[in-house]
C-alpha cells in the first residue's frame, strides 16, 4: 500500500512543482513583449485608451501625438498606451489582452485592436519558439485549433513538411494541429525555461527592452529608427533599393479587396465576437483598425461591409487616407518612420474623434 501512495505523492508533487515553474516562467523578452506587457499590467489603470497590435502599431502610433490631437478636437485629458509588439498576431494579442483585462482596469474606456485575422497558421520557421509557446495556454490553443478550418492553405515554405508528416496525407491541417498541441504541452511543462526562471528569481537577467523609462516617456511607442535591430535595418535597406514598388503595392489594394466576397466560411467570426464581448464585459469599448502597411485586407473589408463589429478604420486604403501614401513617411514596406507615425497618429485621432462625436460617446469611461 505504501508504494502506490508514495508514487501518487511523487506524482502530485511533480505536478505541483511543474505548475509552479509554469507560473514563474517570465514572458519572452523578444520584440519588447515582456517589457511592454509588464509595464501595461502595472500601469493600465493610468490609461483611457489601449492600442494593441503588431510592429505596425508599435512603430506607427504615438500616443502623445494622438492625445494632443484629440485635445485640439475637443476631447481633452485622454491618455493612451501603445501595446503593439513586433510579430504579434491575433491569438497572441488576444492572450495578452486578456491578461490586461484580468487586471480590471477601472479607467480603460477603449481598446483599439489591429486587424484581428485569427490566423492559426504558425508562420515562424521554428514553431517551438518562446513566443509561440507562451501564448499556447489551454483556452488560446483551443481557439487556434477551432480556427484551423478557416485556413485555405499552409505557408508555402511549410507545405513540403506538412505533406511529409505521417498525418499529412489526410489533411495538411492535422500536422499543424499537432504543432499547436505540442506547443501547449511545452507550455504546460515549462520545458526549457529553467535558466530563464532562475535568472528571473535571482534578478540576474538584464532589463528587457524597451526600458521602463522609455515606455513611460513615450507611452509604449518605439521609434523604429533609434537603435534599430539588424533585421529592421536590413528591411530599411531593402526598401530603399525597391522603393519604386511602393506605388504598385498601393495600386493593387483596391482590386484585391474588390475580388473578396462576404466573410462566409473564410473567417472565424465567433472568435472575434468572443473577443469583443470580453472587452465590453471589462467595461471598455472595442474599435478595430487596419494599419497602413501597403497590403490588402479582404477580411477586414468584408467585416466592415457586414457591419457586425462596427466601423473598421481601414488606414491601408490609399484613396481614403492619401496623407499616409508619401514614400518619405516610410521606414520600409510595412512600417512608418517617426514622421509617418506622427501623421498617422493625428489622422487616427481625427477619425476616433469623428466616431465619438457621431455616437455621442466619450474617450473616458463614464
* CA distance linking residue 302 with residue 237, whole number of Å: 34
Strand stretches in 1-141, DSSP E: 49-53, 80-84, 110-114
Q: Which residue has the cell 500616443?
A: 63
Distances from the Cα of 182 to the Cα of 10, 65, 138, angstroms: 25, 43, 12
Cβ-Cβ contacts under 8 Å for 269 (sequence gap 6 or more): 263, 308
Per the structure block, which three cell numbers stand in for 230? 539588424
* C-alpha cell, 254: 483596391
Domain ranges of the chain: 2-359
CB atoms within 10 A of CB 272: 23
DSSP β-bridge partners for residue 111: 50, 286
Q: If you search the block for the grid coordinates 474617450, which residue do you land on?
A: 363
Residue 221: closest CA among 116, 330, 342? 342
Write the CA distances from 329 to 16, 220, 322, 324, 325, integer angstroms. 52, 20, 12, 7, 8
Could you read off the pLDDT tens digit of each residue along the chain, which spans 366 residues? 555 545 544 443 433 344 444 554 678 888 889 999 999 999 999 999 999 999 999 999 999 999 999 999 999 999 999 999 999 999 999 999 999 999 999 999 999 999 999 999 999 888 888 999 999 999 999 999 999 999 989 999 899 999 999 999 999 999 999 999 999 999 998 766 666 666 555 555 667 779 999 999 999 999 999 978 888 999 999 999 998 899 999 999 988 888 777 776 689 999 999 999 999 999 999 999 999 999 999 999 999 999 999 999 999 999 999 999 999 999 999 999 999 999 999 999 999 999 999 999 999 998
Other CB atoms within 10 Å distance of the CB of residue 333: 16
Amino acid at each position: 500500500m505504501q508504494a502506490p501512495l508514495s508514487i501518487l505523492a511523487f506524482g502530485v508533487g511533480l505536478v505541483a512543482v511543474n505548475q509552479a515553474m509554469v507560473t514563474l516562467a517570465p514572458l519572452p523578452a523578444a520584440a519588447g513583449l515582456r517589457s511592454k506587457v509588464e509595464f501595461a499590467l502595472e500601469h493600465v489603470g493610468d490609461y483611457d485608451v489601449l492600442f494593441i497590435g503588431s510592429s505596425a502599431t508599435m512603430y506607427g502610433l504615438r500616443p502623445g501625438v494622438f492625445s494632443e490631437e484629440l485635445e485640439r478636437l475637443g476631447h481633452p485629458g485622454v491618455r493612451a498606451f501603445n501595446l503593439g509588439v513586433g510579430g504579434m498576431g491575433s491569438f497572441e494579442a488576444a492572450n495578452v489582452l486578456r491578461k490586461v483585462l484580468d487586471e480590471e482596469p477601472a479607467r480603460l474606456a477603449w481598446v483599439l485592436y489591429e486587424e484581428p485575422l485569427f490566423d492559426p497558421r504558425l508562420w515562424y520557421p521554428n514553431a517551438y519558439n518562446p513566443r509561440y509557446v507562451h501564448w499556447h495556454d489551454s483556452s488560446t490553443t483551443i481557439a487556434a485549433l477551432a480556427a484551423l478550418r478557416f485556413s485555405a492553405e499552409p505557408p508555402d515554405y511549410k507545405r513540403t513538411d506538412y505533406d511529409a508528416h505521417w498525418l499529412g496525407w489526410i489533411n495538411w491541417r492535422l500536422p499543424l494541429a499537432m504543432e499547436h498541441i505540442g506547443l501547449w504541452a511545452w507550455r504546460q511543462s515549462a520545458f526549457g525555461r529553467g535558466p530563464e526562471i532562475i535568472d528571473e528569481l535571482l534578478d540576474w537577467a538584464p532589463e528587457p527592452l524597451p526600458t521602463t523609462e522609455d515606455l513611460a516617456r513615450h507611452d509604449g511607442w518605439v521609434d523604429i529608427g533609434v537603435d534599430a535591430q539588424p533585421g529592421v535595418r536590413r528591411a530599411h535597406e531593402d526598401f530603399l533599393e525597391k522603393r519604386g514598388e511602393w506605388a504598385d503595392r498601393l495600386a493593387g489594394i483596391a482590386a484585391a479587396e474588390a475580388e473578396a466576397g462576404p466573410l462566409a466560411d473564410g473567417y472565424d467570426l465567433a472568435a472575434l465576437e468572443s473577443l469583443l464581448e470580453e472587452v465590453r464585459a471589462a467595461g471598455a469599448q472595442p474599435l478595430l483598425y487596419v494599419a497602413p502597411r501597403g497590403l490588402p485586407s479582404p477580411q477586414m473589408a468584408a467585416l466592415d461591409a457586414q457591419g457586425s463589429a462596427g466601423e473598421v478604420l481601414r488606414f491601408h486604403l490609399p484613396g481614403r487616407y492619401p496623407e499616409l501614401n508619401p514614400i518619405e513617411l516610410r521606414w520600409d514596406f510595412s512600417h512608418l518612420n517617426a514622421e509617418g507615425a506622427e501623421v498617422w497618429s493625428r489622422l487616427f485621432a481625427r477619425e476616433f474623434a469623428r466616431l465619438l462625436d457621431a455616437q455621442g460617446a466619450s474617450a473616458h469611461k463614464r
